[in-house]
């Protein structure tokens, strides 16, 4: 009952705030999408389609305030091309997905994240959205993780999450990505100046409360990954952590400490026995293929056969439906199986063109963040040092979070999750912010130089002479 009352209270608060600001309406939509308050209620309110209402309010308010998707950078263009590939695949196959994931879902997701991008024009707006993501998505999983750390037990194979982020593996991988997004929020809430916050976040007491919640989420998400025995998410988190350390200035010191810490954990046997059993199952023989990660190459091979047979793939969400047709074992591994990989999922459902676009989209994300990071290291005298430092921290953490997704996506079908697609447009916004910083400083420098250039002196002398005459 208490959970229901809290959810209703938050619904009322967000609805009231959304009526006064289109940006808050956008945050309200993502709260419904990530937090899913209707799943917290003791009674069923799904028939009211509240998330659809929130989406309608967000879209309508956006159009009224002239916020529309804009294709003004490479990442946005590639998202549009990817959506066009989805439409082409659907027209070629006319496949009806047997799962919740359909081509319509992908198109709506693309449209909504591009619409969200139109609000990310300043650093405070970017930071407020990331803070919302870290708080909205992970709260339930963090509670479960803290419970595991305190009382022990396991979360393996429990029912958690919903939609494209349902199941322990999906929530674990999303949690691993979110941990890196929490890191710049810790710095922001602890050391950030008022100018980096939107007005409703400038109260010191509120920021301290949010800091405690973010730290709670980091601890809880780590506990959740530990409790679910999710080997893919754990390995992706560790690899993402090493990648993040490589981006730091004192990388050798931090990497050495991280290696010693991980070695100590394994040497002392601090992981539960189920974790070691799960890791060893990846090297199981053929007789245990169905119960281990070693069975996945078979499903990947089926995806390859689908791509060879159909140029534009079998259609979004249609791999399970078409699996039996391309299964050379004639059902040894069952029917309606998952492909167990984000990349082979795209290959099977969108063909080689989909993989090609997806590959360049990842390159665009890393390239944009790397360029923004490079700009932050430049001498920008007109840019506040605090703003430049925070943008640098944000770029590093976004790259680590996305690297975690890329590595974890090898073993999990996790292509169309909200956090990754939000990362696309947040990366584009950080790139635009860094370019604006550089442009503002360069323009002022050019103006200073042009005042004393010979050409400017000649024009000024000619102008004065004409006035005197």
Per-residue pLDDT tens digits for 190-242: 888 888 888 778 888 888 999 999 999 988 888 888 888 777 888 888 888 88
Write the DSSP symbol of residue 165: E
Residue with tokens 């089926």: 302
Tokens standing for 292?
């281990």
Q: Could you give the 3-state DSSP secondary structure of residue 162?
A: strand
> What pLDDT is stored for residue 447 in this prediction?
46
> What pLDDT is stored for residue 157 in this prediction?
67
Residue with tokens 């931090």: 254
Q: What is the 3-state secondary structure of 210-232?
A: HHHHHHHHHHHHHHHHHHHCCHH
Which residue numbers in the chain have pLDDT < 50?
Answer: 267-269, 283, 287, 289-291, 444-452
Q: Between vectors from CA 110 to CA 370 and to CA 308, what angle results, nearest 5°? A: 90
CA distance linking residue 30 with residue 196, whole number of Å: 21
> What pLDDT is stored for residue 166 in this prediction?
72
Q: How long is the chain? A: 469
DSSP bridge partners of 162: 165
Pick from 275, 278, 271, 302: nearest CA to 292: 278
Cβ pair 129, 426 in contact under 8 A: yes
Q: What is the pLDDT of residues 115-171, one digit of tens each?
A: 999 999 999 999 999 998 888 777 778 888 888 888 777 776 677 766 667 777 888
> What pLDDT is stored for residue 289 in this prediction?
47
> What pLDDT is stored for residue 119 in this prediction?
92
> What pLDDT is stored for residue 452 in this prediction?
46
């Amino acid at each position: 009952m208490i959970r229901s009352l809290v959810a209703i209270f938050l619904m009322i608060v967000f609805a009231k705030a959304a009526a006064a600001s289109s940006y808050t309406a956008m945050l309200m939509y993502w709260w419904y999408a990530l937090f899913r308050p209707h799943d917290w209620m003791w009674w069923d309110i799904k028939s009211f389609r509240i998330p659809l209402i929130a989406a309608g309010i967000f879209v309508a308010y956006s159009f009224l305030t002239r916020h529309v998707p804009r294709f003004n950078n490479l990442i946005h263009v590639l998202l549009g091309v990817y959506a066009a590939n989805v439409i082409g695949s659907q027209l070629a196959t006319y496949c009806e997905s047997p799962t919740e994931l359909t081509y319509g879902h992908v198109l709506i997701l693309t449209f909504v994240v591009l619409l969200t991008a139109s609000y990310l024009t300043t650093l405070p707006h970017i930071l407020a959205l990331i803070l919302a993501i870290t708080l909205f998505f992970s709260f339930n999983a963090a509670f479960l993780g803290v419970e595991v750390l305190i009382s022990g037990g396991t979360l393996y194979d429990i029912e958690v999450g919903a939609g494209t982020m349902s199941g322990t593996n999906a929530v674990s991988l999303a949690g691993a990505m979110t941990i890196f997004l929490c890191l710049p929020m810790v710095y922001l809430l602890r050391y950030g100046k008022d100018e980096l916050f939107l007005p409703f976040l400038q109260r010191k007491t509120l920021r301290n409360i949010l800091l405690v919640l973010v730290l709670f989420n980091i601890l809880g998400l780590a506990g959740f990954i530990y409790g679910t025995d999710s080997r893919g998410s754990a390995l992706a988190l560790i690899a993402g952590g090493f990648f993040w350390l490589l981006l730091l200035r004192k990388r050798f010191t931090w990497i050495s400490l991280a290696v010693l810490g991980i070695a100590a954990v394994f040497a002392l046997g601090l992981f539960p026995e189920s974790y070691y059993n799960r890791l060893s199952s990846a090297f199981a023989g053929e007789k245990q293929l169905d119960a281990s990660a070693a069975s996945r190459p078979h499903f990947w091979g089926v995806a390859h056969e689908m791509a060879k047979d159909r140029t534009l793939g079998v259609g979004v969400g249609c791999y399970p439906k078409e699996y039996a047709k391309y299964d050379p074992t004639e059902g040894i591994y069952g029917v309606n199986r998952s492909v167990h990989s984000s990349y082979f999922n795209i290959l099977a459902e969108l063909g080689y063109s989909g993989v090609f676009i997806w590959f360049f989209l990842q390159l665009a994300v890393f390239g944009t963040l790397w360029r923004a990071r490079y700009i932050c290291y430049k001498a920008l005298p007109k840019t506040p040092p605090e703003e430049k430092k925070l943008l640098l921290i944000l770029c590093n953490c976004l790259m680590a979070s996305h690297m975690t997704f890329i590595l974890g996506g090898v073993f999990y079908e996790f292509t169309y999750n909200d956090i990754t697609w939000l990362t696309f447009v947040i990366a584009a916004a950080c790139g635009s912010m860094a370019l604006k910083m550089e442009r503002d400083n360069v323009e002022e420098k050019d103006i200073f130089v042009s005042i004393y250039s010979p050409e400017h002196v000649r024009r000024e002398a000619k102008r004065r002479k004409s006035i005197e005459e």
